[in-house]
Chain A
Amino acid sequence: MIPGEFDYVVAGSVDEAIGLLAEGGADAKLLAGGHSLLPLMKLRFAHPSLLVDIGRISELRGVDTGDDSFRIGAATRHADLQVRDDMGLIATAAKQIADQQVRNRGTIGGSLANGDSAADLPGVLLALEGSVTVRSRDGERVIEAQDMFQGYLSTAVMPGEVITEVRIPALTGYGYGYEKFNRRSEDWAMVGVSALVKASGGVCEDVRIGLTHMASTPLRASAAEDALRGKPLDAENIAAAAQLAAEGTSPLGDLNASPEYKRHLAQVLTKRALTTASAA
């Protein structure tokens, strides 16, 4: 649990961070909360030559509340989000990340850049259909959630790019539910399900379901969504839709969960998340 040798520099601004990152070359890495990167370094799975610490850049921390969206600074901590009940799904999910110590350090930008499909926020971003703004020497671009997560621990963020902001729609009128299943409360999700439901007159007008840890990237449970959209939001329809939650997924097994158990969990959790979201 002792990392290899590396250099460390604190960036005072986003522009400075971009410059330091570019100069640092291929093995330079951004350091935000450090709660994904440092464990990997201590296990010697990651060997960055330079860490550019962006955790103290004040322009990166905080939430701008707009009329129909939220703009979240990339270095905003999970602890900042967990108290924002007005932000709905993302606040509920943030509360369930690990324990308070981790939430006090971990950032949304770090979590999304890391792109771990077992992490809570990537699946949430996907369900919310949010986006990620990145900046580099070449300028700024926006990555839509659906394009963000590309494979096992790999995202659309290119070397040299810094996530500056995460945008999510307010989705007023949607009910939401987040179901995370793990062995211990501080663990990562064995499977997680985020659900957003818009009802009108007891009928499902829109539904979005994000799946956590059912593949090497977060997924949308589109078969289940299609099955529920336009249907009355009763227990029977919810259960029937939830049966389809794992459709098309081929999750990897691990020590604690076989693929079939994960598919089963996706169904159970989808039913529960949809039920919560519909009750709102």
Chain B
Amino acid sequence: MSITEAPAGKSVGHSLRRKEDPRLITGRASYIDDIALPGMLYMAVVRSTEAHANVVSIDTSSALGRPGIKAVYTGADMSDLLAPLPMAWAPPGVEIKTPERWPLARGHVAHVGEAVAMVIGDDRYGVVDAAEHVAVEYEPLAVVVDVEQALEDEILVHESLGTNKAHEWTMGGGGDIEQALADSEVVVERRIVNHRTAGAAIEPRGVIAEYRAGGLTVWSSTQVPHLVRLFFAVQMGISEDKVRVIAPEVGGGFGGKLQIMAEETLCAWASKQLGRPVKWIETRSENMAVSHHGRDQVDYVRMGATRDGRITAFHANIIQDLGAYFGLLTPMIPELGAFVMTGCYKIPVVRTDITGVLTNKFFTDAIRGAGRPEMTHMLEVMIDQLAEELEMDAIELRRKNFIPAADFPYETPYGITYDSGNYEAALDRALEIVDLDAFRAEQASLRSQGILRGIGFSTYTEICGLAPSRAVGPSGFGLGIGLYESAIVRVHPTGSVTVYTGASPHGQGHETGFAQIVADRFGVDPAVVEVVHGDTAQGPMGLGTYGSRSLSIGGVACAHAAEKIAQKCREIVAHNLEANPEDIELRNGKFSLKGDPDQGMTLGEVAGCAYIDATNMPEGMELGLEQTLIYDPSNFVFPFGTHVCVVDVDAETGKVRVVRWVAVDDCGPAVNPMLIDGQVHGGVTHGIGQALYEQVVYDERGQLITGTFLDYALPTAEEIPSFETDRTETKSPSNSLGVKGIGEAGTIAATPAVVNAVIDALRHEGISYIDMPLTPMRVWQALEEARGRGDGPRATEQGVSLPPQGEGSAGSGPTRPEGGAA
């Protein structure tokens, strides 16, 4: 990837260096833990050591007596809250049984780590010490951790709900699925486990709240500052004008900070009681236990086809582990996947059945891709499974069923309109890079040396750019609020520009990409366009960053606002040159006269008219160059592409290593190709992580086993290949820039490519499917089974039984932080 300099007014399309990097790289950025306020107190949370229990009593006296402790509060103290923590999905016509979730437990705990008390004091270490002195007496209750066992309702997570089945959601299209499957010449059926993962942002969550003179200011490491403000108004009854929420530098989110955090309320409420600012910084152990998890489905999947490889029907019966409570979007996540159930293919009859189930684990919610990786995994793995059944090449099978480029916009059996696509082109490009014939020859020769090499494909499309308001809002899909995005573009008197966006980046590079978009509309250098975000006091209502929505909604909002100002600029210039506004065009950094480019004005000169010497303004025109705009698109966007994974499997140990990755993505015209590459690199790494390394595991007592990065195996640079990325560019008709999202695409594409590659390496050994994560032991177990020894891979599901604490070795044994705030 080369960094390029761009001519004035033509920065879009160039890999400009990230404007945010100098401060990040030189340690000048201000994260939440860098902020200290005068008189600030610290909070530690006492967390349940039990996975399921009644709280009999809480004795806070010993903790209160410790030095520097100002207060200890329990759920009973917080009865003045006006609302429990929110779950923001109410699909019309669907009943959802929602357990009430309060920031501190009210007599009952349903997962390890549930907050039962908070300790406030003037020393960061002292509050953690004191938290260990809060004596909580539990009456343990039976625990259920396995999602299918929970469905039997023998052990209830919440007695009051009467069942663990929280909701059922069904969508069908194109006809009767049973009939279509019965009519299919071939049906392939699989049970696919998509295991629980963590977002694991390198900066854990953190909050500072200051309640002062009737107003509340909250700093939070969040992806959604405006939603946090909205919620505070509802929950604490403070009007929005008196609530300010600031997202400072945010060190990664991955969906984990698309949340209304219990700890935000705890800090704010405590600050109101004590009249001093209160800070909480999450520890890594807390982050693993109580920052929401993702995935965690058991999927029963059936795919029907004709003998010659036309897919006729596809059915997914999804059992979603929701955990013990709901976060902001918990039960909605699998449904988001349903909208791309047919992926890149023309599948006439489809049906999705989703059952949401409560268990004694922490809740699942949006983690990068949110529902779409799970669905894409099922679909792309099943394509390979079907290809094997049909004895057909998996690429040929894909091509045979692709929606042809000529068919766009294309309406799926679910009534979703794919905006644009050219799946063949992306696949062709990937194959050009890969050279499949050479690969197959190499594969054969390596196999004779005991190295099992395999190749796996994933041709994906996904739905993102979360908006339009009408489609997703209360009367549509049922979100508690419509999704759109806001922008303010403000040209200053000397011609530099400040842009405020309602999107709230946490690593993506909005400050660079959005600056390029705006700069080009004024013919200025992106260096003089400052992008501001993440402060509810500075800009209009905004919806934040998630669902790969920032560019195609927030970026387009900036573009439209800038275009309105540019039009005003043309009118001012036309007035000064005594020309028609239609005859003014941007050229070489100037609004200049068509045909006579020497005659023109720079943005600075125009701003001079608008702000400094009003005599040069057209009669009756408002002064200033500023525009506020809220953009709501007409449709979603559907990026797509082909990812290719090459793995080596050690035949003796089962260890898998990714040796090559080719990614051809299409997210429309590139604003900044380097930013796209960055998202693809991170996204694919996230997917490789799930496929091979990462898994959140609870034992049969509901204790979290993967409580640290020792056990929760994030891949490191050493495990990840050097990515080969390329792009095709197919414009989206959904927005004027033609752009689509790319933040989640890599994650969505990646896991099936890995699984398909491993199976390709092992098929000749008689192995046709293994559930993720493809750890060395599980692959070895599959090999043993295929060789007639052993029972095959152990279940990845929750509830494994392990030696009691202390018996494993510190090096690789389980660490079990038994609650507490350590």
Contact = CB atoms under 8 A, between A and B. Distances in A.
A181 interface: yes
B703 to A, nearest CB: 12
A2 B821 contact: yes
A142 interface: no
Interface stretch (A35-43, A72-80, A199-207): A35-43
Interface string B640-680: 00000000000011010000000000000000000000000
Interface string B717-752: 011000000000000000000000000000000000
A257 B809 CA distance: 12
Interface in A98-153: 99, 114, 116-119, 152-153
A105 B716 CA distance: 20
The 7 closest A-B pairs by CB, nearest first: A118-B811, A188-B811, A44-B822, A1-B283, A185-B718, A118-B809, A2-B128
A236 interface: no
B415 interface: no
12 contacts: A5-B125, A5-B129, A117-B811, A118-B812, A152-B807, A182-B812, A184-B713, A185-B719, A252-B807, A253-B803, A254-B813, A260-B790
A98 B145 CA distance: 33
Interface centre among B132, B708, B822 (most CB of A within 10 A): B822
B284 interface: yes
Contacts of A184: 693, 713, 715-716, 718-719
Contacts of B790: 260
Contacts of A216: 807, 809
Contacts of B780: 261, 264
B811 A116 contact: yes
A36 B713 CA distance: 18
Contacts of B706: 255
A4 interface: yes
A4 B802 CA distance: 28
B822 A2 contact: yes
A252 B775 CA distance: 18
Contact of B810 (A153, A190, A256, A264): A153
B776 A252 contact: no
Contacts of A264: 780
A258 interface: yes
Contact of A252 (B125, B708, B808): B808
B808 A183 contact: no
Nearest to B699: A255
Assign chain B's interface to a size class.
35 or more
Nearest to A269: B653
B648 to A, nearest CB: 15
B814 A255 contact: yes
A187 B812 contact: yes
B794 interface: yes
A189 interface: yes
A182 B283 CA distance: 26
Contacts of B283: 1-2
A43 B807 contact: no
A213 interface: yes
Nearest to A257: B777
Contacts of B716: 99, 184-186
A2 B284 CA distance: 10
A227 interface: no
A44 B810 contact: no
A171 interface: no
B119 to A, nearest CB: 12
A78 B655 CA distance: 27
Contact of B776 (A117, A118, A183, A254): A183
B297 interface: no
Contacts of B775: 183, 256
A257 B706 CA distance: 14
The DSSP consensus for interface residues of chain B is loop
Given A1-B285, A255-B705, 13 more contacts: A44-B820, A44-B822, A99-B716, A114-B810, A116-B810, A117-B811, A118-B813, A184-B693, A185-B718, A186-B716, A213-B811, A257-B812, A261-B777
A58 B122 CA distance: 39
A56 B307 CA distance: 73
Given A5-B125, A187-B713, A255 B809 contact: no
A14 interface: no
Interface string B796-822: 000010110011111111110100111
B106 interface: no
Interface residues of A, number: 42
A268 interface: yes
Nearest to B821: A2
B711 interface: yes
B697 A252 contact: no
Contacts, number: 120
Contacts of B128: 2
Interface centre among B124, B812, B820 (most CB of A within 10 A): B812
Contact of B822 (A43, A116, A119, A190): A43
Interface of B: 124-125, 128-129, 132, 283-285, 652-653, 655, 693, 697, 705-706, 708, 711, 713, 715-716, 718-719, 775-777, 780-781, 790, 794, 800, 802-803, 806-815, 817, 820-822
Contacts of B794: 258
Nearest to B805: A45
B653 A181 contact: yes
A132 to B, nearest CB: 20
Contacts of B806: 152
Interface centre among A40, A190, A253, A255 (most CB of B within 10 A): A255
Interface string A255-275: 111101100110010000000
B814 A254 contact: yes
Contacts of A152: 806-807, 809
Contacts of A42: 822
A185 B820 CA distance: 31
Contacts of B124: 2
Contact of A43 (B285, B713, B808, B813): B285
Interface in A141-190: 152-153, 181-190
Contacts of A190: 776, 812
A40 B810 contact: yes
Nearest to B820: A44
Nearest to B794: A258
B716 to A, nearest CB: 6
Nearest to B705: A255
Contacts of B802: 253-255
Given A36-B810, A254-B802, A43 B653 contact: no
Interface centre among A1, A4, A117, A253 (most CB of B within 10 A): A1
Contacts of B715: 184
Interface string A191-216: 00000000000000000000001001
Contact of B809 (A2, A213, A261, A265): A213
Contacts of A5: 125, 129
Contacts of B132: 4, 44
Contacts of A257: 777, 812
Given A5-B129, A184-B716, A186-B716, A256 B809 contact: no
Interface in A17-66: 36, 40, 42-45
B125 A2 contact: yes
A117 B809 contact: yes
B811 A255 contact: no
A265 B705 contact: no
A66 to B, nearest CB: 32
A254 B776 CA distance: 13
Contacts of B803: 252-254
A19 B118 CA distance: 41
Contacts of B705: 255
Given A2-B125, A43-B817, A116 B713 contact: no
A252 to B, nearest CB: 6
B706 to A, nearest CB: 7
Given A184-B719, A213-B811, A43 B708 contact: yes
Given A2-B124, A2-B125, A5-B129, A119 B777 contact: no
